[in-house]
Structure 1
Amino acid sequence: MGNKKKKKTLPFRLNIIFFGVFLLFSALILRLGFVQIVYGDDYKRELEKTEDITVNTSVPRGKIYDTTGKTIVDNTPKNAITYTNTGVKQAEIIKTAKQLAKYINKDTKKVTERDKQDYWIMLHPEVAAEKVTAAEKKKLQEKYPDEEEYNKQVYKLQLERITGKELRTLTKDDLEVIAIYREFTSGYKLTPQIVKNKDVTDKELAIVSENLEMLPGVDTTTDWDRMYAFNDTLKSVLGNVSSSERGLPAEKLAYYEARGYSRNDRVGTSYIEMEYENVLKGQKEKVRNQTDKSGNVTSTEVIAEGKRGNDLVLSTDMELQLEVEKIIAEELQRAKQSAGTKLLDRAYVVLMDPYTGEVLSMAGKRLVKNEETGKTEMQDDALGNITTTYNVGSVVKGATVLAGYKTGAISPGTVLSDTGIKIAGTPLKKSWTYMGNINDLTALQRSSNVYMFRTAIKIGGGNYEYNQPLSVSPSAFTTMRNYYAQFGLGVRTGIDLPNEQTGFKGSNTTLPGFLLDLSIGQYDTYSTMQLAQYVSTIANGGSRMKPHIVKEIREPVSDENELGPIVETIKPKVLNTVDAKPEWIKRVQQGFKMVAQTQKGTAYTYLGGKSYSPSAKTGTAQAFYDGPLRSDYKEPPEVYNLSLISYAPSENPEVAMAVMVPWAYQGSVDNGANKKIGERVLDAYFDLKKERLQDSDGKGKKEE
């Protein structure tokens, strides 16, 4: 008999394991099914999401204050309506534009012929399609195999064949829709575009706000305009900001876009607003946009709040500025009553702290004929202090004397004859009056031209003999100009404003007569700001300070009448130290003091006896007119420019001043506008200081 075959059985433990695995797989399958059925769409949307970070609504710019805390430039809020293109199709955008047009009045002046044609085609696509025949389309396909280019050429023909009669069927309402649509599509996707921010009525704002659900992408917000508390005072220096309409300047579009700006962002376009754009612009609100694969926004999240730009505190005192401008305007008008002032139309003043370079006042006025009314108007021209240059005359003689010391041409106390200089073949060059044998101090006090001529000849290595040819080294021009530059004459002062002009340098360095002219300020041209830096350098003992009109940068605060914490203080900067012995500079300081405080000094009539003990140097330059009326003359007429530099007190000076009155007069009647302006400006500065000290003392006593 054969053996009975035994039945094989799995061990009990293995069965338990298999059963457990079965249960786990079952649970997994159930879970996958649950996730797929219940949450499948949600997870699909998550997978399809992409993330964009964009800069959203612009914020107000920083404010600008004067040195005493008065607001100069502020922001005025105004109602605005915006649109953000979230990636919807053209038809949806048009639909929203039509709906919004029912709620607001939109100016249609900017609507172009092309805008009308595009919109007409959108309204009449079938009629537009019939304007290009099948045969024409076939030819275009053969000529332009690329589909995109083919469609472009077809569309071009359609545009050309729209008749004027067809365009005239567009109604006023249609034009408003076109105007709104233009704004909707003027910028980047996901970036708010201002649709209307001018004359938005409360009614318009309210009705749009109430119907935002019917206006996808549209929002109501608060926009702003720059407000100038002192109207035109210092306006040219403060600069301008582009409008939301203009947005980024076309010539600097790439520059700003590379720095994260949107095309409709407003930026500073000139002077302080432009120079300090990075400070004033603020931090725009940042929003994270979740979009699907089609580009539609599914959600937004604010990840950084917007912040108004930082504020600027200027070194300028607006109360002083207003007074200086008033003085310039009054004296300019008064001088115009004198003989020979047909060409006089402007005057400039700069006040500076000689030890810090802070610009305390920068004022200029210009008489301009209004072409519409024919009347002459007084306009702000503070910028003229850095953008225009003139022959300034004898005010440079302090630098000439110091150049003489440095080169060994003269020494402190050197005596020279004031007898006129006669070079063969040229007219006699002399001082305004004969002074006999004089030293360097008298030469400054009474403003001797001849003393400077003889000094310049020695600098140039010349050997002067009466009515004989004279030869000087051309390098003398370079020697003197380089030394002048140490004071800021003929070079950029470094002021924190763009477009500063350095002046014109006479090109002829072969004729010795021009070197003599250079020595008395009648060859090269300089700006009023350069004169202010020059006299400050002498006043402080030889340090050329960098002038600056911004004193501090501060954080913005919500309190309208309070300055925020200091972010940065603009520190005094020494650009260079003049190559001169201290006693040399003291010698020139003594000469300048004699100009203002001794009876034969050229400024004594106006500045003598003043309690604030000024030092000064006057200047009169014989020059050729090159102003706005030059076309009236066959040859440029001769004019006299008037200038004045000063500082006070003579010991430990706290203010330096430069006055420039170009084309002050023709003929022989000196109206003295430079000295009249200078006297009144210095009086105003010290009167204001005294008044504030008295007010401060009064308050202190009252509190006690």
Structure 2
Amino acid sequence: MDFFRKNSGTGSKNQSSTPVRMKIILCVIFILFATLIGQLAYLQLDYGSRFKSEVQKSNSAVVSSQVPRGVMYDTKGRVLVGNKANNAITYTKSASTTSDQAYTVSNALSNYIKLSDEKPTEQQKADFYLANPQNSKPALAKLPKSIRDSQDQSLINEKLGEEVKKQGIKLTPKQKTAALIFNKISGAYTLSTIYLKNKNLTNTEIAQVGEHLSELPGVGIGTDWQRSYPNGSSIQSIIGSVSSEKSGLPSDNLQYYLTNGYSRNDRVGTSYLEQEYEPLLKGTKSTSKVTTKGNGDIQQTKTVYKGQAGASLILTLDAKYQKKVQADLKRVYSSALASGAAHYSNGAYAVAMNPKTGALLAIAGLNRDPKKNKMTENALGVINQSFVMGSAVKGATVGGGLINKAITPTNSTLPDTAIYLPGSPVKKSVYPIGTFSALDAETALEVSSNIYMMHLAMKWVHAKYVPKSYISMPRNSFDVLRRNFNMFGLGQKTGVDLPGEVAGIQGKSFNSKGNILSGSVLDLAYGNYDAYTPIQMVQYVSTVANGGYRMQPYIVQSVGKTGTNGKQIYIDYNKEPNVQQRIPWTPDELNIVQQGFYRVVHGTNSWGTAHPLKGVKPSVSGKTGTAQTYYYDPSKPHQKNAPELINSTFVGYAPSKNPDLAVAVVFPGLDPDGEGTYTLQVAKAMIQDYYSLHK
């Protein structure tokens, strides 16, 4: 019994101690809770406002936006290239925008607008399809476990895309629009504003989007611009083009643009005047301070600088005259085609310039595919197409001979006997051998004597010649003649303010054995060897017209800015005429060349070549030319017996005294039996049109 009492007493003791331990534990828990509550109260009372401000703290960033591109005017103030304002649906991407939100906005917006002129790619369809969790989860489940467990999210996305593409994605027209919108939103930079639709936006679409803007976070209604050509697009190949927002910066100059403050989706000039004057035309972007909340949502947008529209360019071209010259060229060239004379021809070109200043007054060109008989406007060919010009360059040959004293104004007579070289066909003029026994320089220009120019060249370079048996030319003969042609602007770039100009083509100077091509030196002397561009030809004839000043051609006369009324132009810079070289001839030497050019049109010799221009008012002086060439078929690079053709040219100026208009016309690849007077017809129309507009 004692044993049991002892045990019973022990149990009673244990039971009595349990409440004590529980009390200690509860006491500790109470103290901890009290401490926690005290700490929370302390933080709330002393630091609550600070934490609240941290939660509500905002960030700010400066973003830039495009401004209208500079306008181009003709010399009379007519708009050649302007900006057409278009309504646009915009989207500004906040820092908190998620893929789910972009998907939701895209679907909602597709209820109100259509992007029917665009088609989503297969990748864009896949991205849109997978943005819906109901589609992405089943697709993910089909991937191998090794890929699903991969930490490489880009790999998972790639395999998901491949998987859904295999299945074939079928989207309704509305879903295709949503897919395109989703792609644009996903690719936008944070806080940047992009255009979701900026073409063919209807009033209904604008109204419906406007009514639902509260349901479309980030979406807005704005204005975009596009290049417009209110006076026609005949010189668009000279003006150039501008990239779209979609294509953005050209990949070949990407780093250049990025380092100069451009964004990847900025629109820039990609060719010719638009590219050449890009720094002026682009203007200065507007800047805005965008304030965002702590969660990334945009809180406020405040304009800091409204930006400056691009500079205005005033060109030397007259829109009305430009249209007439292009129409004249097309009309006459079409008649050459109709007659069969231009069956193999690949185009025609015409250019007009002020010989006193170098200002280009009109630039016209046609390009033609002889196989397809397809013709397109190609004014740019004036600076980037080269042709052997023939006798039109003889004024430079005679001028050089006078300057270098091979002939003189009082003693310019040379024999007009044909050139007989060993093993070569006779070298002669168009008229029969023996027509003239000797000629002076003025008459040689009037009747376009090839023989005279060859004798002049041999005397000039001190060649040794025995008919039918021997000719010896100094090794520098080509250099001597080419330096002279360069002085007049032939065979080198003119420096016109357009990118893409070519210098022409030089023929070979020596054969495979290192011997000078003596016969080709003679061909060069009368314009049947090297190739020049139409703009070089008009610069050359302008140099003759103005008394010997080689003027740099230019197409931009002034740079300024357009007033707020859109009409008044404030000039910041005017182009000053630039004399590239002064021809070192005497007045008497100049007079020989100018009189020769006058007699080409007004002379009485039956072999004169430009008599159809005799009745044109004001008086015209000039020089015609023909050069032998062949039809080249690119599909038959080793073609034999290619058709023989001629290049027909004319250079001239008016009035004959104190001229203010110089022209060059080139019709390459005409039938030798159908040369006609096509270049003279165009030149006549160009001169009459100019003075009818500038009375």
State the TM-score, normalizing by the size of structure 2: 0.86
Q: What is the CA distance between 1:39 and its match in structure 2?
A: 6.6
Counterpart selection for 1:160 from 150, 159, 162: 162
Alignment match, 1:276? 277
Letter in 1 for 2:687: L
Alignment match, 2:9? none
1:106 aligns with 2:115: yes
Does the Cα contact within 8 Å between 1:235 and 1:380 map onto a contact in 2?
A: no
Q: What is the CA distance between 1:342 and its match in structure 2?
A: 1.8
Letter in 2 for 1:93: A
Counterpart selection for 2:608 from 599, 602, 609: 602
Q: What is the CA distance between 1:302 and its match in structure 2?
A: 0.7
Alignment match, 2:423? 425
Equivalent-residue separation in structure 1 for 2:165 and 2:691 (angstroms):
74
Q: What is the CA distance between 1:630 and its match in structure 2?
A: 6.9
Equivalent-residue separation in structure 2 for 1:246 and 1:267 (angstroms):
10
Counterpart selection for 1:151 from 144, 148, 153: 153
Which is worse superposed, 173-182 or 107-116?
107-116
1:573 aligns with 2:570: no
Aligned-partner SS, 1:188: coil
Does the Cα contact within 8 Å between 2:119 and 2:176 map onto a contact in 1?
A: no
| Unmatched 5+ stretches in structure 1 | 1-31, 141-146, 691-704
Q: What is the CA distance between 1:173 and its match in structure 2?
A: 4.0
Q: Deviations over 1:196-224 (max 9, x none)?
A: 11221111112212222222221111112
Q: What is the CA distance between 1:38 and its match in structure 2?
A: 4.9
Seen in structure 2, the aligned counterparts of structure 1 residues 282 and 454 have a Cα distance that, compared at 3 Å, is same
Q: Deviations over 1:385-440 (max 9, x none)?
A: 11111010111111111222333332233211111000111111011223221111
Alignment match, 1:522? 528
1:78 aligns with 2:79: no
Q: What is the CA distance between 1:500 and its match in structure 2?
A: 0.9
Counterpart selection for 1:131 from 142, 149, 153: 142
Aligned positions of 1:198-209 closer than 5 A: 198-209=199-210
Aligned positions of 1:612-691 closer than 5 A: 612-626=618-632, 634-666=640-672, 668-690=673-695
Aligned positions of 1:227-376 closer than 5 A: 227-291=228-292, 296-338=297-339, 340-368=341-369, 376=373
Letter in 1 for 2:71: K
Equivalent-residue separation in structure 2 for 1:157 and 1:294 (angstroms):
32
Seen in structure 2, the aligned counterparts of structure 1 residues 129 and 471 have a Cα distance that, compared at 3 Å, is same
Q: What is the CA distance between 1:292 and its match in structure 2?
A: 5.8
Equivalent-residue separation in structure 1 for 2:242 and 2:147 (angstroms):
50
Does the Cα contact within 8 Å between 1:391 and 1:621 map onto a contact in 2?
A: yes
Aligned-partner SS, 1:60: coil
Does the Cα contact within 8 Å between 2:341 and 2:675 map onto a contact in 1?
A: no
Seen in structure 2, the aligned counterparts of structure 1 residues 226 and 546 have a Cα distance that, compared at 3 Å, is same
Letter in 2 for 1:525: A
Q: What is the CA distance between 1:443 and its match in structure 2?
A: 1.2
Letter in 1 for 2:181: I
Equivalent-residue separation in structure 1 for 2:274 and 2:692 (angstroms):
32
Does the Cα contact within 8 Å between 2:447 and 2:609 map onto a contact in 1?
A: no
Alignment match, 1:191? 192
Letter in 1 for 2:389: V
Seen in structure 2, the aligned counterparts of structure 1 residues 569 and 34 have a Cα distance that, compared at 3 Å, is farther
Does the Cα contact within 8 Å between 2:87 and 2:222 map onto a contact in 1?
A: yes
Aligned-partner SS, 2:87: strand
Q: What is the CA distance between 1:369 and its match in structure 2?
A: 7.2
Q: What is the CA distance between 1:516 and its match in structure 2?
A: 0.6
Q: What is the CA distance between 1:685 and its match in structure 2?
A: 1.7
Q: Deviations over 1:312-353 (max 9, x none)?
A: 211111221222222212221222344544223522111101
Seen in structure 2, the aligned counterparts of structure 1 residues 454 and 182 have a Cα distance that, compared at 3 Å, is same
Equivalent-residue separation in structure 2 for 1:683 and 1:296 (angstroms):
67
Does the Cα contact within 8 Å between 2:120 and 2:176 map onto a contact in 1?
A: yes
Seen in structure 2, the aligned counterparts of structure 1 residues 103 and 370 have a Cα distance that, compared at 3 Å, is farther
State the TM-score, normalizing by the size of structure 1: 0.85
Equivalent-residue separation in structure 2 for 1:378 and 1:605 (angstroms):
31
Q: Deviations over 1:327-384 (max 9, x none)?
A: 212221222344544223522111101111100111123445796xxxx555322111
Equivalent-residue separation in structure 2 for 1:644 and 1:348 (angstroms):
11
Alignment match, 2:595? 590
Seen in structure 2, the aligned counterparts of structure 1 residues 670 and 157 have a Cα distance that, compared at 3 Å, is closer
What is the root-mean-square deviation of aligned Cα atoms in Å?
2.7
Does the Cα contact within 8 Å between 1:387 and 1:499 map onto a contact in 2?
A: yes
Alignment match, 1:477? 478
Q: What is the CA distance between 1:449 and its match in structure 2?
A: 0.7
Q: What is the CA distance between 1:136 and its match in structure 2?
A: 5.5
1:41 aligns with 2:42: no
Aligned-partner SS, 2:569: coil
Seen in structure 2, the aligned counterparts of structure 1 residues 656 and 35 have a Cα distance that, compared at 3 Å, is farther
Q: What is the CA distance between 1:311 and its match in structure 2?
A: 1.7
Equivalent-residue separation in structure 2 for 1:215 and 1:678 (angstroms):
62
Aligned-partner SS, 1:177: helix
Alignment match, 1:10? none
Equivalent-residue separation in structure 1 for 2:633 and 2:359 (angstroms):
30
Equivalent-residue separation in structure 1 for 2:294 and 2:236 (angstroms):
50
Does the Cα contact within 8 Å between 1:596 and 1:603 map onto a contact in 2?
A: yes
Alignment match, 1:20? none
Counterpart selection for 1:89 from 63, 86, 98: 98
Equivalent-residue separation in structure 2 for 1:113 and 1:81 (angstroms):
24
Alignment match, 1:3? none
Which is worse superposed, 567-576 or 255-264?
255-264
Alignment match, 1:551? 557
Alignment match, 1:222? 223
Alignment match, 1:179? 180
Seen in structure 2, the aligned counterparts of structure 1 residues 108 and 229 have a Cα distance that, compared at 3 Å, is closer
Does the Cα contact within 8 Å between 1:212 and 1:218 map onto a contact in 2?
A: yes
Aligned residue pairs, count: 640
Seen in structure 2, the aligned counterparts of structure 1 residues 436 and 557 have a Cα distance that, compared at 3 Å, is same
Aligned positions of 1:407-426 closer than 5 A: 407-412=404-409, 413-426=411-424
Equivalent-residue separation in structure 2 for 1:35 and 1:535 (angstroms):
90
Alignment match, 1:699? none
| Unmatched 5+ stretches in structure 2 | 1-42, 511-515
Equivalent-residue separation in structure 2 for 1:464 and 1:471 (angstroms):
6
Equivalent-residue separation in structure 2 for 1:381 and 1:236 (angstroms):
6
Does the Cα contact within 8 Å between 2:140 and 2:148 map onto a contact in 1?
A: no
Does the Cα contact within 8 Å between 1:367 and 1:377 map onto a contact in 2?
A: yes
Seen in structure 2, the aligned counterparts of structure 1 residues 104 and 637 have a Cα distance that, compared at 3 Å, is same
1:396 aligns with 2:401: no
Does the Cα contact within 8 Å between 1:553 and 1:569 map onto a contact in 2?
A: yes
Equivalent-residue separation in structure 1 for 2:137 and 2:378 (angstroms):
60
Equivalent-residue separation in structure 1 for 2:356 and 2:46 (angstroms):
76
Equivalent-residue separation in structure 2 for 1:172 and 1:336 (angstroms):
48
Equivalent-residue separation in structure 1 for 2:224 and 2:147 (angstroms):
50
Seen in structure 2, the aligned counterparts of structure 1 residues 226 and 108 have a Cα distance that, compared at 3 Å, is closer
Equivalent-residue separation in structure 2 for 1:203 and 1:273 (angstroms):
35
Does the Cα contact within 8 Å between 1:329 and 1:378 map onto a contact in 2?
A: no
Seen in structure 2, the aligned counterparts of structure 1 residues 370 and 202 have a Cα distance that, compared at 3 Å, is farther
Which is worse superposed, 523-532 or 88-97?
88-97
Seen in structure 2, the aligned counterparts of structure 1 residues 626 and 576 have a Cα distance that, compared at 3 Å, is farther
Does the Cα contact within 8 Å between 2:128 and 2:183 map onto a contact in 1?
A: no
Aligned-partner SS, 1:78: strand
Which is worse superposed, 108-117 or 328-337?
108-117
Which is worse superposed, 78-87 or 529-538?
78-87
Does the Cα contact within 8 Å between 1:283 and 1:307 map onto a contact in 2?
A: yes
